[in-house]
Structure 1
Amino acid sequence: MLLEDLGLVGNCRFAALVDRRGAVVWCCLPRFDSEPVFARLHDDRDGGELLVGPAGGEVGAQRYVGDTNVLETTFRTAEGAWRVIDFAPRFFLYGRRFRPTQLVRILEPLEGAPRVQVRCEPRLGWSKASPRAVHGSGHVTFEGFASALDLATDIPLTNLDGRGFLLTGRRHLVLSWGTVVDEDLAPLCQRFMAETVAYWLTWVKRCKIPPLYQREVIRSALALKLHCFDDTGAVVASPTTSIPASPGVRPRDLRHCRLKDAPSAIRALHSLGHFEEREDYIRFLLDVAGSSPTLDLGPWVQVDGSSCPDERVLDGWPGFGGDSSVLVGSPSKRQPSEVLGSLVLAVAPAFFDVRFEAKQSRAVLDLMERLARRAIGVEASGDAPIELRTLDNLMSWAAADRMASVAARHRRALAPELEAEAGRIRDRILSRAWSPALGSFTSTFGGEELDSSLLRMAALRFLPPDHPRLTGTIARIRQELACAGVRDVLRLVEALAATGDVAGARAAMDRACSALSPLGLASEAVLPSTSRMRGNFPHSASHAALINAAFAASPTWAEVA
């Protein structure tokens, strides 16, 4: 199975991956971090899937229906042509968001007399046990789940076992969690599709886009939106777990909210002009921070804001490609400076936007001050790693610097102290992370290694854009990025653009765009040796980084129009 061959559908409550055979190979219900109902992604034989494909097993061609998250897979066989349209309903009904936990699949003949097969084989989560199927009138209920899992269809139930049958007209399937559809499926599915298509087209029309890389930005915006969990405002790192970023690397469960990714996602949503998503995410971050009296925050939280369960390895799962472990939960490793600094960076812009006045309360200011002080004091508290990472110190500096700016506007007496702290940390980085021999900053104090995290100095405005230490670091890392991942290249795009190398930024941007899937989706990583996608897929941080890089590398509209 190739990640490049998977399409994503969802409605900001759950997500599903559909392959070119027409099979749902991954879907967790009722929310992103629930146990999987279909998990062929991690077990080709026993993981379970919902297949709607040609009777002969042929693969189709996928595309999205315009600027939407409605997926279309078209099959052309010797018998004829047909397509399956997949989507999760999302639109406004009676003035409120309507996003039921439902997956709609529409089979539509195009020419000839195609033969198709339908097979629904759900699994009871990680146990891989098969639920008991109870046949009703036009639907099948699968028992054993926490809520009812029901498949309503106008296909004869005897044809749901994978046997081939002639597709003579439009047919429909609706997979529902917690409800049973008792309406006439044909008009219901057509109405849901029309409303869902209209919703996504309207949402995209409200996006701000740059003059360049418009198609890539639009698809990344749609993908990023599908990683948003409406109920709380959280943004999950990925809908999947345990796809290794490279051979031999321990996989991770990314079906949670990674707090360190928040500044990039917030910035992308701001660039796109989507205020509500940004407001919801900031509220979620403040709720997470406010619920921890000691601010002892790990890098991951669940979509409801609670702590992630400890990481564990599941027995009996061969994993993606049959050669990796399947993990759930998150490691208990703490990264306090990076997490705390990220929270300050993510929330600080709200204090310069009058539309966030309700968030600019004394209580929120107190919380922001505590976050900044905690980030600044990490080293003194003994939480800093023995081998001091430059990134930890950079994020401590960013917390002090941004909170000083907030204080200058909202709590003036505090500003001088924070400015002094930012200067102290900045001097420490300049003296201990700089290598004259390399002509570059290094990843650790006194070390010799480099990594792409140092490129964040440009976007964070740690040094002036023409400072020789900044340009030297960018040049040095650029030499070593020949085999880097997508996000590394996107960080390079922003760094080059920030220092005035627009041509270099656009060349790097073209390279990053070439690593997207045929549908425009981004993975966690790309293997240099094969150019194949690896890592959890899709990856919200990669899409946010692409949006930010595209705006950085593109001219403004005033320059082109």
Structure 2
Amino acid sequence: MTTKHTYDMGVIGNCAFLALVKQDTAISWLCWPRFDSSFVFGSLLDTRKGGEFSIKPATEEYSSYQFYRENTNVLCTEIENEDGRYRVTDFAPRFPQYDRYYKPLMLIRKIELLSGTPRVKVVCSPVGNYGELPLSRRRSSNHIAFLGLEEEIRLTTNIPLTYILDEELFVLNEPKYLVLTYGAPLEAPLESTAERFLRSTVQYWQKWVKSTSISSFYQEAVIRSALALKIHQYEDTGAIIAASTTSLPEAPGSTRNWDYRFCWMRDTYYILTAFNNIGHFEEMEQYFHYIANISTKVKDKYQPLYSISGGTELIERELDLEGYLGNKPVRIGNDAYTHIQNDVYGQVLVALLPLYVDRRFLDSERTDSQKLIYDALRMIDKTMNMPDAGLWEFRTLAQYHSYTYLFHWAGAHAARHVARRLRNTEMEALATRLIEEASQKIEECFDTKRGVYTNAIGSPHLDASTMQLIMMGYLDPASEVAKIHLVELEKELKTPEGLFYRYRHADDFGTPETTFLICSFWYVEALACVGRVEDAIREFESLLTYTNHLGLLSEDVDARTGSQWGNFPQAYSHVGLVNAAYRIAKKLDQPNFV
């Protein structure tokens, strides 16, 4: 039997940076100073060049137990061997201070004795330029400075520096602290400051969770997803990245290894919906401002994705690294930014709609948005008869995708809603015409023999994204058409385990080998929409078995083995979980708890 592969690590972050911590205590991934910067620790992609930051025991044989402090992004890893047991608590400080959030480029690691007399070895060797730049070390009285990057990386600790510099074992007999900083160092008492930051960070996250509005339906899973999603937002600009990693393969040997540390326009609607569903307006507002900022820069078209700063050139290149479990190539950048993906205009319009229907937004925030709405409507008009790469970003195939036309339809609906509020008859007339034209195009995708909407005009292939026809209300969920459409998708794209492929036809890299997790959550939502609530609950419960030991989701799942693949953790998958749980809870009419 093939071994089930799961990612044996947890994620921590503070909306300024993210880090992955393995069950052996190693920081396997940490990019500084931005989400999309080079890693300073990247053993995830290269065990030789990736540097190391670990707190390992004296023996190779040991057991490990990893868990989050309840309702937080503070991660604990307990290591036990014949000598004793110790706990490493890892966190990125985040808490309110001086009327804003304190979120420094600072990783704090607390090591505490639990039993016995364990001996541990701390290794700290950051690198630069994706492993090509070794850093020099400078020893000071209570810290080690790592030099060679634009700013200093500093390790401040109460562990004797000799033990760290020489990578020697020492007996753990009292709490030890390691504070790693990029740029501004810690210039305060070490132990008391680390403990204060830990208390304040735990309190921040637990208070954040308490302010979340969710039903009692699988609360624990929704809370973990919400916490994971939150730290994928780069608070400085409001951008939300798809994942913190690059080049974790969609399937072993597939070469489908992509950099996901960017913000995809196609995710806009689903992300905003997720934050709205859990009652978190602050994150929704920040993300809206990021989208609005991009909209002001657009000249002739929107790109499918942008950098966290709104940057437009995401040039893709390959690095000379081992790759995750030997999977090459390792890529940074993403060539998809050059693709034509026309559903983005509808995504932007649907994203702008809350400005006009949600009274939490102020009138002043709507001032410039009328021009954005007009511009997006005109782009829908301009691209109505143009083929595109579709939301799955086919690299060598342009088609007239039903999903694109669905967002033309939905975006024009949103614009018409706004036009009526503004009493703008010209905008209303344009939006109405585009609704009708998009509807006609969608109907051209309907296969009358099978009673199903295909992925594109003139194509026989089915695509999981067409479940959105039901979820977004293009098809009446109570209609026979919707029910038959869903049954036909089940026949072709659903695995016996209940997982869903995006599609089954060959693309630029062959036939997809793994299922795409967000599609499985869309399926749960579609089931709930058409009234098959018991089926939806059963499938949702099944999907929860594909998390790792901490409740974190990857991008892809191998249906045969249940293995996790793709970039990790995948914000999009956690968005899917949040929205599916919300849809079921509404059908069950379960109350929200605040």
Aligned residues: 558
Structure 2 match to 1:452: 464
Kindly provide the amino acid, as one letter, of the partner of residue 550 in structure 2: L
Structure 2 match to 1:424: 437
Structure 1 match to 2:112: 108
Distance (Å, rounded) in 1 between the aligned partners of 2:341 and 2:592: 42
Q: CA deviation at 1:245?
A: 1.1
Structure 2 match to 1:464: 476
Q: CA deviation at 1:2?
A: 5.6
- DSSP-derived class of the 1:141 partner: strand
Give the 3 Å change call, closer, same or farther, for CA 135–282 of structure 1 in structure 2.
same
Give the 3 Å change call, closer, same or farther, for CA 382–547 of structure 1 in structure 2.
closer
CA contact under 8 A between 1:211 and 1:556: conserved in structure 2?
no
Give the 3 Å change call, closer, same or farther, for CA 59–301 of structure 1 in structure 2.
farther
Distance (Å, rounded) in 1 between the aligned partners of 2:131 and 2:520: 39
Structure 1 match to 2:513: none
Structure 1 match to 2:42: 39
Counterpart check, 1:298 vs 2:300: no
Q: CA deviation at 1:80?
A: 0.8
CA contact under 8 A between 2:18 and 2:30: conserved in structure 1?
yes
Q: Whose helix fraction is larger, Structure 1's or Structure 2's?
A: 1
Structure 1 match to 2:420: 408
Q: CA deviation at 1:470?
A: 1.8
Q: After TM superposition, list the pairs within 5 Å mapping 1:14-29 onto structure 2.
A: 14-29=17-32
Distance (Å, rounded) in 1 between the aligned partners of 2:549 and 2:579: 21
Give the 3 Å change call, closer, same or farther, for CA 107–362 of structure 1 in structure 2.
closer
Counterpart check, 1:163 vs 2:168: yes
Q: CA deviation at 1:309?
A: 2.3
Structure 1 match to 2:278: 272
Distance (Å, rounded) in 2 between the aligned partners of 1:383 and 1:447: 14
Q: Paired residue for 1:62, among 56, 62, 66?
A: 66
Q: After TM superposition, list the pairs within 5 Å mapping 1:330-341 onto structure 2.
A: 330-331=334-335, 332-341=337-346
CA contact under 8 A between 2:214 and 2:592: conserved in structure 1?
no
Structure 2 match to 1:147: 151
Q: CA deviation at 1:381?
A: 6.1
Distance (Å, rounded) in 1 between the aligned partners of 2:423 and 2:377: 14
Q: CA deviation at 1:504?
A: 1.3
Structure 2 match to 1:132: 136
Kindly provide the amino acid, as one letter, of the partner of residue 174 in structure 1: V
Distance (Å, rounded) in 2 between the aligned partners of 1:218 and 1:558: 16
Q: After TM superposition, list the pairs within 5 Å mapping 1:367-382 onto structure 2.
A: 367-380=372-385
Counterpart check, 1:257 vs 2:257: no
Distance (Å, rounded) in 2 between the aligned partners of 1:114 and 1:481: 50
Kindly provide the amino acid, as one letter, of the partner of residue 420 in structure 1: R
CA contact under 8 A between 2:387 and 2:400: conserved in structure 1?
no
Q: CA deviation at 1:525?
A: 0.8
Q: CA deviation at 1:397?
A: 1.4
Q: CA deviation at 1:336?
A: 3.4
Distance (Å, rounded) in 1 between the aligned partners of 2:374 and 2:423: 10
Structure 2 match to 1:245: 250
Counterpart check, 1:231 vs 2:236: yes
Percent of matched pairs sharing the same residue: 33
Q: After TM superposition, list the pairs within 5 Å mapping 1:521-540 onto structure 2.
A: 521-540=552-571
Q: Paired residue for 1:208, among 206, 213, 235?
A: 213
Structure 1 match to 2:576: 545
Distance (Å, rounded) in 1 between the aligned partners of 2:352 and 2:490: 31
Distance (Å, rounded) in 1 between the aligned partners of 2:103 and 2:398: 48
Structure 2 match to 1:352: 357
Give the RMSD, CA atoms, in angstroms.
Answer: 1.9
Distance (Å, rounded) in 1 between the aligned partners of 2:240 and 2:318: 24
CA contact under 8 A between 1:60 and 1:74: conserved in structure 2?
yes
CA contact under 8 A between 2:388 and 2:400: conserved in structure 1?
no
Q: CA deviation at 1:359?
A: 5.4
Give the 3 Å change call, closer, same or farther, for CA 200–386 of structure 1 in structure 2.
closer
Q: CA deviation at 1:3?
A: 4.6
- DSSP-derived class of the 2:490 partner: helix
Distance (Å, rounded) in 2 between the aligned partners of 1:79 and 1:90: 35
CA contact under 8 A between 1:132 and 1:143: conserved in structure 2?
yes
- DSSP-derived class of the 2:134 partner: coil
Q: Paired residue for 2:518, among 475, 487, 511?
A: 487
CA deviation profile, 1:388-415 (whole Å, cap 9, x unmatched): 1111211211111221122122244022
Kindly provide the amino acid, as one letter, of the partner of residue 530 in structure 1: T
Distance (Å, rounded) in 1 between the aligned partners of 2:592 and 2:338: 46
Q: Paired residue for 1:503, among 531, 534, 537?
A: 534
CA contact under 8 A between 2:233 and 2:239: conserved in structure 1?
yes
Q: CA deviation at 1:303?
A: 0.8
Structure 2 match to 1:312: 317
CA contact under 8 A between 2:213 and 2:592: conserved in structure 1?
no
Distance (Å, rounded) in 1 between the aligned partners of 2:375 and 2:113: 61
Q: CA deviation at 1:417?
A: 3.1
Distance (Å, rounded) in 1 between the aligned partners of 2:55 and 2:369: 50
Q: Which runs of 5+ in 1 are unaligned?
A: none
Q: CA deviation at 1:380?
A: 4.0
CA contact under 8 A between 2:355 and 2:366: conserved in structure 1?
no
Most deviating of 435-444 and 330-339: 330-339
- DSSP-derived class of the 2:203 partner: helix
Distance (Å, rounded) in 2 between the aligned partners of 1:270 and 1:150: 39
Distance (Å, rounded) in 1 between the aligned partners of 2:194 and 2:408: 51
Kindly provide the amino acid, as one letter, of the partner of residue 62 in structure 1: Q
- DSSP-derived class of the 2:159 partner: coil
CA deviation profile, 1:39-59 (whole Å, cap 9, x unmatched): 000012221120012122435
CA contact under 8 A between 1:7 and 1:18: conserved in structure 2?
yes
Distance (Å, rounded) in 2 between the aligned partners of 1:131 and 1:37: 10
Q: CA deviation at 1:274?
A: 0.8
Most deviating of 300-309 and 86-95: 300-309
Distance (Å, rounded) in 1 between the aligned partners of 2:90 and 2:184: 19
CA contact under 8 A between 2:151 and 2:182: conserved in structure 1?
yes
Structure 1 match to 2:452: 440
Distance (Å, rounded) in 2 between the aligned partners of 1:257 and 1:131: 30
CA contact under 8 A between 2:50 and 2:131: conserved in structure 1?
no
Q: TM-score, normalised by structure 1?
A: 0.96
CA deviation profile, 1:245-295 (whole Å, cap 9, x unmatched): 12314211111111111111100100111111111100110000111132x
Q: CA deviation at 1:350?
A: 2.4
CA contact under 8 A between 2:255 and 2:329: conserved in structure 1?
no
CA deviation profile, 1:290-343 (whole Å, cap 9, x unmatched): 11132x1211111111114211111x2011111221111111432332212211
